[in-house]
Amino acid sequence: MTEQSNDEAPAAASFWRDPRKRQWIFQILVLALVGLLFAYIFHNTLFNLEKRGISTGFDFLDHEAGFNILMSLIPYDETYTYGRTFLVGLLNTLLVSAIGIVFATIIGFVVGVARLSSNWIISRLANLYIEVFRNIPLLLQILFWYFAILPLLPHPRHSIQIGELFLNKRGLYLPKPVFEPGFGWVLAALGLAVVASILVARWARRRQEATGQPFPVFWTSLGLIVFLPWLVYGLAGFPLSWDLPQLRGFNFRGGLGVIPELFALALALSIYTAAYIAEIVRSGIQSVSHGQTEAAYALGLKRGQTLRLVIIPQAMRVIIPQLTSQYLNLTKNSSLAPAIGYPDLVAVFAGTTLNQTGQAVEIIGMTMGVYLFISLAISAFMNWYNKRMALVER
C-alpha cells in the first residue's frame, strides 16, 4: 500500500508540471465559472419576468404583426407574422450593408491612390475629403444627407432623368428586369464563363512563372463573361424584358423604386467608411519599399502597370486586415437606420415588434445574435481572403 502511494505522488507531481495539462484544467475551470455565471443570470431573469407576469418564449413569432413596412425585399403585408418582420428587417440590413461595403471600397481605393498622386490639386482634394468626412460623426452625416440634401431634389413631375432613371424627392426609380422562361440558361452560361475565367487566370499565372510571358487575362475574362452569356441570351430568344417606371398622377408606378431612406443611409455609410479605407490604402501603398517601384520602372513598366502589378498586390497584406475592421464597423453602423426611418432589423424587429409584443429578452437576444453571426461571417471570409493574398516566402 505504501509503495502504491509513493508511486502515485510522483505521477501527480509530473501531471501538474506539464504546462499543457495545467492549461487545459484552468481553461475548463474558467469555462465552468463563466457557464455558472450565465446560468445564474438566465435563471434570475426568468424568475423576475415570471414574478412580473411577463411571458417568455418565441411563440410570438407566429402571431400576426398587424403593421406595414416601408420597404421589403420579400412579399409582406400587415397580415404576416412577426417572424416575417424579422426576415424583412434582416434582408434590409444585409442590403444596405452590402451596398455600403461595395461603394465604400471603390471610393476608398480611388481616394487612397489619389492621396499619393503627384498632382498637387488631386492630392489635396483627396486629403480634404478624408479629413472632412472622417471627423464628422456618422449620425450627423446621415441626417445631413436625408434632411438637408434630399429635400433639394425636384418633385416627381420634374424629376432628374438619365435615360430611364428618374431621381426626385421620393427616391430613385429605375427599370426592373422581368425574367422570362429560358433565362436560367443565361445564368448558367454566366456561371460557366466565370469558372472558365478563373481557370484561365490560373493557367496564365503558371505560364508566366514558367516562361515570363504575360497573357491578357483581363480582356480574355471580360470577353468570356460578356460574349458567352450574350450568345446564349440570343439563342434562348432574349428571355428578358423590362418594367419601366412611368409617371402616373403624383408619383411613379412600375419599375424598381429605391426609397430615399435607403439612398441616404447607403450614401452616408459609403462616404464615411471610404474616408477610413482611403487612409488604409495609403498606408498599405507606402508600406511597400520604394525599391519595388524603381525596379518596376527599370523593367519598363508604366506607372499604372507598376501600381496594379507590383505595388497593390504587396500592399494588400497590410490593407486586408484593416479593411476587415471597416467592413465590420459599416455593418454595425447600419443600425443607425432608425434615425431616418429606414426599416432595418433594429427599426422593424428591435423597434416596432418589441414595442408591440414586449418580448424584450428574446428580441434583443435574436438581434444581437444576428449581428454577431454577420460579423463572424465577414471576419471568416476576410481571413480566408487574407490567406489567399498573403505573400509566400520561398
User: Domain of 307: which CATH number?
Assistant: 1.10.3720.10
Tell me, yes or no, whether 193 lies in a domain.
no
Q: Rounded distance, CA 79 to CA 65, Å?
A: 6
48 and 91 part of one domain: no
Let me know if residue 215 belongs to a domain. Answer: no
Residue pair 327/378 in contact (Cβ under 8 Å)? The answer is: yes
Residue 175 maps to a domain: no
Q: Are residues 100 and 47 in the same domain?
A: no
Name the domain count of the chain. Answer: 2
- pLDDT (tens place) for every residue of the chain, 394 residues total: 455 555 555 655 566 667 777 788 888 989 999 989 988 887 787 777 677 666 677 888 888 998 999 888 899 988 999 999 999 999 999 999 999 999 999 999 999 999 988 889 999 999 999 999 999 999 999 999 999 988 898 888 888 888 888 888 888 888 888 888 888 889 999 999 999 999 998 898 888 878 878 788 888 888 889 898 899 888 888 888 888 888 887 788 888 888 999 999 999 999 999 999 999 999 988 888 888 888 888 878 787 778 877 888 888 888 999 999 999 999 999 999 999 999 999 999 999 998 888 888 889 989 999 999 999 999 999 999 888 877 554 4
Quick one: 266 and 368 in the same domain? Answer: yes
Stated as kind and residue range, the H or E segment containing 242 is strand 240-243
Instruction: Report how far apart, in Å, the C-alpha atoms of 377 and of each of 98, 101, 372 are.
Output: 13, 14, 9
Q: Rounded distance, CA 264 to CA 258, Å? A: 10
How far, CA to CA in Å, does 287 sit from each of 280, 304, 316? 11, 18, 10
Position 16 scores a pLDDT of 64
Inside any domain, residue 13? yes
Instruction: Return the residue matching grid coordinates 454566366.
Output: 190
| 371 lies in the same domain as 283 | yes
Q: Which of the listed residues 37, 53, 69 is the one where a domain comes to its end?
A: 53
Residue 170 falls inside a structural domain: no
Same-domain status, 265 and 369: yes
CA neighbor of 217 nearest in space, from 238, 239, 198, 231: 198
Burial class (CB in 10 A: 0-12, 13-18, 19+), 315: buried
Q: What is the 3-state secondary structure (H, E, C) of 139-196?
A: HHHHHHHHHHHHHHCCCHHHCEEECCEEEECCEEEECEEEECCCHHHHHHHHHHHHHH
349 and 303 fall within a common domain: yes
Residues 371 and 318 in one domain: yes
Neighbouring residues of 22: CB distance < 8 A, sequence distance ≥ 6:
16
Residues 28 and 136 in one domain: no
124 and 6 within one domain: no
Q: Under DSSP, is residue 251 helix (H, G, I), strand (E, B) or coil?
A: strand
Is 147 in the same domain as 94?
A: yes
At residue 39, the pLDDT reads: 87
Same domain, 49 and 88: no
219 assigned to some structural domain: no
Q: How many CB atoms lie under 10 A from the CB of residue 367?
A: 22
* Residue finishing a domain among 9, 36, 53: 53
In this prediction, residue 13 carries a pLDDT of 58
pTM for this model (two decimals)? 0.81
How is residue 299 annotated by DSSP?
T
Q: Are 28 and 93 members of one domain?
A: no
All residues at 6 or more sequence positions from 39 whose CB lies less than 8 Å from its CB, including other chains: none
Judge whether 244 lies within some domain.
no
Residue-level pLDDT at 11: 57
**What is the number of H-type helices and E-type strands within the chain?**
14, 8
**pLDDT value for 12:** 57
| C-beta of residue 348 within 8 angstroms of C-beta of residue 357 | no
Residue 6: inside a domain: yes
Domain span at 8: 1-53
